[in-house]
Structure 1
């Protein structure tokens, strides 16, 4: 059985795949490891420059260098030194073929698909009995480097944690080594956004229609037009405030709610009681959900050139003192 089963080259900053080896194996664990590997590629900036993910029979090894990450799925019987030696050889081969400019300007997936032939040759070299380093690096050098700087061993739980939430606005937390983002949008939040958009549309339509009569009636309905258009703007602002964090969220939410209540009160007569109740209820719902949406804090263990996600904490945006300031 070959020791090196799959190799993958991606751009570190965004996980754009550059090239991958061709394999025809239908091993279930191999497919799972390849799936994990592709998920990892989207969050390589949160991982150390060099690491290992242990599996049952197959392990994942990865190395990042100069904006490019080299990843491989190997059988557990392959020594760690030999696995990283393969990745170092792969790194040397890739740098010999493509410069930093080509790496940075690449926009579509697999722009260097022809590099697959080089990957296949290296795999064959290492999978042969007694096979080993093929290019600039030697096994002894890698073993010595691994003793000085051992790779970080990651668990599947740490992988899932680091891949984490994809939703919400990200900003740097008050302490180093933290990423802060809002909780995912809930079903109630989606309902609130839809209702707010409906209210905004109704306000805009009524306001535009009323403008026509305003010009005919000597501007008697001018303030009603202003109220409709102001309510339209406030509804859109409520949507934005729910989706994105603001340090003035409490005061802004209260102000928007107050303006919407005043606008709808002013429009009494142009709207019946049930319409006013609907618009006011939607505004109150949006305000409540905006104020109750919490932060999720990702805590990272930082070294000179790498980070490892250690945990997730939730806290109220209105009480920043709950946010952990250090690991």
Structure 2
């Protein structure tokens, strides 16, 4: 279940819009909204563009797109694929309707509070029981988030890790993966050469002998 969502301008951390499920106890979420603010404070243009940060029974999922942070608090059991597809949906609509306004230096906090209506409607769609029951059917359309960096809130906030370090770790993993893929391709190519080179050599020799005997 999606518990709350906040949209923040990346460069100065100005909150632009927010939505919280009215049925939820705000006191229950107080600790996690404080964590959310700390996560947002640590984000910068070099941070990983999307990540999941686990905290007790909840997970913070965030997406950075076009200079804007979209961050949501979900119950840990809620699908990460649905969470990031939900954030992608918000990012596309917010960019379409307000993208040309977010760089205005005179913007006040929660200047786009009216976007809350769209956020709540979209949230209800992604919480619909039929959506969750049909998750297998949705998988073909949902973005692959298997490489989304996942971090524990204690590591991030209380043990000195940073989201920049997460980004560096993720980039290193991708670089290493690419290197090993290239090495695997070379090994496969070498194996193919060893397998077929003798056959090719014999074939060429046979063609040469036919030419020498019958066609020369």
Q: TM-score, normalised by structure 1?
A: 0.45
Following TM superposition, by how much is the alpha carbon of 1:89 offset from its aligned partner in structure 2, in angstroms?
Answer: 0.9
SS in 2 for 1:7: strand
Match of residue 42 from structure 2: 43
Q: For each residue in 1:270-322, what CA deviation from the matched residue of structure 2 results, as whole angstroms up to 9, or x when unmatched?
A: xxxxxxxxxxxxxxxxxxxxxxxxxxxx9983666xxxxxxxxxxxxxxxxxx
Aligned residues: 162
1:93 aligned partner:
93
Q: What residue in structure 2 maps to residue 155 of structure 1?
A: 152
For the pair shown, the structure with the greater C-alpha radius of gyration is: 1
Cross-structure match for 1:5: 3
Structure 1 segment 260-279 matched on structure 2, within 5 A: none
Deviations 1:103-135 (A, max 9, x none): 111532111111000001011111121137xxx
- Name the one with the larger helix percent: 2
Measure the CA separation in 1 of the matches of 2:6 and 2:19: 7
In structure 2, relative to structure 1, the CA distance for the partners of 1:303 and 1:152 (3 Å cut) is: closer
| Aligned equivalent of 1:14 | 12
How far apart in 1 are the matches of 2:167 and 2:4? Answer: 29
Q: Residue 114 of structure 2 corresponds to which residue in structure 1?
A: 114
Whether the aligned pair in 2 keeps the contact of 1:15 and 1:43 (CA below 8 Å) is no
1:17: Cα distance to partner? 0.6
Which blocks of at least 5 consecutive residues in structure 1 are unaligned? 133-137, 165-176, 178-297, 305-327
C-alpha displacement of 1:43:
2.1
Structure 1 residue 162: Cα displacement: 5.6
TM-score when scaled to structure 2?
0.66
Q: How does 1:53-72 map to 2 (within 5 A)?
A: 53-72=53-72
Gaps of 5+ in 2: 133-137, 172-216
Determine the C-alpha separation between the residues in 1 that align with 2:27 and 2:57: 11
RMSD of aligned Cα (Å)? 2.8
Q: For residues 105 and 89 of structure 1, do their structure 2 counterparts lie closer, same or farther at Cα, with a shift above 3 Å needed?
A: same
- 1:84: which partner in 2? 84
Shift of 1:11: 0.9
